[in-house]
């Protein structure tokens, strides 16, 4: 035990380090708004890849949306996909290089609107990829328009009086639908607004990557997220709004953890 008086400069020494920025996060500022959930999830992905020692074997596929520049931030190989097509691009990469760890990273507009077909079919094929889904219930990048996941009554720039079901339909719980598909191995919904929630999300991301190595099918990790700029709230108020309004509609927890279905169950008899 170190005998010290507790002065700051006696604490701040390399041997006392308990947390530092991941070496896989590049030395550049992220362009995200203050408090944006994208930054936290980027850090968790970097930490998981670093802790698993798979930096050289991992390929990310970045979306169109605020996370379009994800390739600038995490020091791995990346491919940028056209809007919504990340799961299709990830499929191609994984099939050509099955020994690599491949993941897609997408927002709700990318994954659950323009890319719905790619999302469902990649999971239905049980592609051995990880899909990370940042659900902030809005199109953040383009100025806060309604997304499929926008809540009823939620004000956005295209629903100035709040989302109206008669006009705009219902919020899409795409993760519940994904969990129905036989190709899905592990489907979970997490969040990153508290230290405990962040740790759970990191465990879920790690598990998703491990399942990929076991070739069990698609892992799908939704992170219920904030977009303080789109929601026009402070980052702290956004977290509170998310807990009060998003969590009842998008409840946290694992939705499936069985591995992909046995193909024999789906075979013709003769």
Ligand X SMILES: Cc1ncc(C[n+]2csc(CCOP(=O)(O)OP(=O)(O)O)c2C)c(N)n1
Tokens linked to 223 = 């992170």
- Look at residue 108 and give the partner it binds from Mg ion, other proteins, ligand SF4, none, a contact being a CB closer than 5 to 8 Å depending on partner kind: Mg ion
Cα–Cα nearest to 41, from 104, 112, 94: 104
Cα–Cα nearest to 125, from 96, 94, 84, 80: 94
Q: What minimum distance in Å lies between the beta carbon of 173 and other proteins?
A: 26
Q: Binding residue for other proteins (CB under 8 A) from 92, 162, 182, 235?
A: 235
Q: Which residue is it, tokens 């944006």?
A: 36
Our finding on whether 37 is near other proteins (CB under 8 A) is yes
- Look at residue 230 and give the partner it binds from Mg ion, ligand SF4, other proteins, none, a contact being a CB closer than 5 to 8 Å depending on partner kind: ligand SF4
Which part of the chain contacts other proteins (CB under 8 A), choosing from 121-129, 138-146, 152-160, 232-240? 232-240
Burial class from Cβ neighbours inside 10 Å (0-12, 13-18, 19+) for residue 103 reads buried
Query: Residue 21 has what DSSP assignment?
Result: -
Residues 200-229 that bind ligand X (CB under 6 A): 227
Our finding on whether 127 is near Mg ion (CB under 5 A) is no
Burial class from Cβ neighbours inside 10 Å (0-12, 13-18, 19+) for residue 235 reads middle
Which part of the chain contacts other proteins (CB under 8 A), choosing from 8-16, 143-151, 182-190, 258-266? 8-16
Cα–Cα nearest to 138, from 155, 120, 117: 155
- Look at residue 142 and give the partner it binds from ligand X, Mg ion, ligand SF4, none, a contact being a CB closer than 5 to 8 Å depending on partner kind: ligand X
Residues 7-66 that bind ligand X (CB under 6 A): 64-66
Q: What minimum distance in Å lies between the beta carbon of 51 and other proteins?
A: 15
> Residues binding Mg ion: what is the number (CB under 5 A)?
4
Our finding on whether 242 is near other proteins (CB under 8 A) is no
Contact assessment for residue 230 and residue 149, using Cβ atoms and an 8 Å cutoff = no
Q: Lay out the site mask for Mg ion across 142-181 (x = CB under 5 A, - = otherwise).
A: ----------------------------------------
Q: Lay out the site mask for other proteins across 164-203 (x = CB under 8 A, - = otherwise).
A: ----------------------------xxxx--xx----
Task: Please give the backbone phi and psi of residue 167, each rounded to the nearest 5 degrees, phi first.
Answer: -95, -40
> Maximum distance among all alpha carbons in the chain?
80
Residues 6+ away with beta carbon under 8 Å from 212: 101, 102, 103, 128, 129, 130, 219
Our finding on whether 32 is near other proteins (CB under 8 A) is yes
Residues that bind Mg ion (CB under 5 A): 107-108, 136, 140
């Amino acid at each position: 035990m170190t005998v010290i008086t507790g002065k700051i400069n006696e604490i701040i020494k390399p041997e006392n380090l308990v947390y530092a920025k991941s070496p896989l996060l590049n030395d550049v500022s992220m362009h995200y708004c203050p408090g944006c959930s994208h930054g936290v999830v980027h850090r968790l992905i970097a930490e998981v890849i670093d802790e698993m020692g798979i930096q050289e074997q991992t390929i990310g596929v970045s979306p169109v949306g605020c996370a379009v520049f994800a390739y600038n931030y995490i020091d791995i190989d990346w491919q940028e996909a056209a809007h919504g097509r990340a799961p299709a691009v990830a499929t191609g990469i994984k099939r050509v290089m099955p020994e690599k760890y491949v993941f897609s990273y997408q927002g709700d507009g990318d994954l659950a609107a323009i890319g719905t077909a790619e999302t469902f079919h990649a999971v239905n094929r049980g592609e051995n990829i990880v899909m990370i889904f940042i659900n902030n219930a809005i199109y953040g990048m383009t100025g806060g328009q309604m997304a499929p996941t926008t809540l009823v009554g939620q004000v956005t720039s295209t629903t100035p009086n709040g989302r109206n079901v008669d006009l705009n339909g219902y919020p899409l719980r795409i993760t519940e639908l994904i969990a129905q598909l036989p190709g899905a191995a592990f489907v979970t919904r997490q969040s990153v607004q508290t230290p405990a929630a962040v740790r759970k999300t990191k465990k879920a991301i790690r598990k998703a990557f491990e399942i990929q190595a076991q070739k069990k099918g698609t892992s799908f990790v939704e992170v219920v997220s904030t977009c303080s700029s789109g929601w026009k709230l402070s980052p702290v108020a956004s977290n509170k709004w998310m807990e009060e309004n998003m969590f009842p509609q998008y409840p946290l927890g694992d939705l499936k953890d069985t591995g992909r279905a046995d193909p024999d169950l789906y075979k013709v008899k003769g």
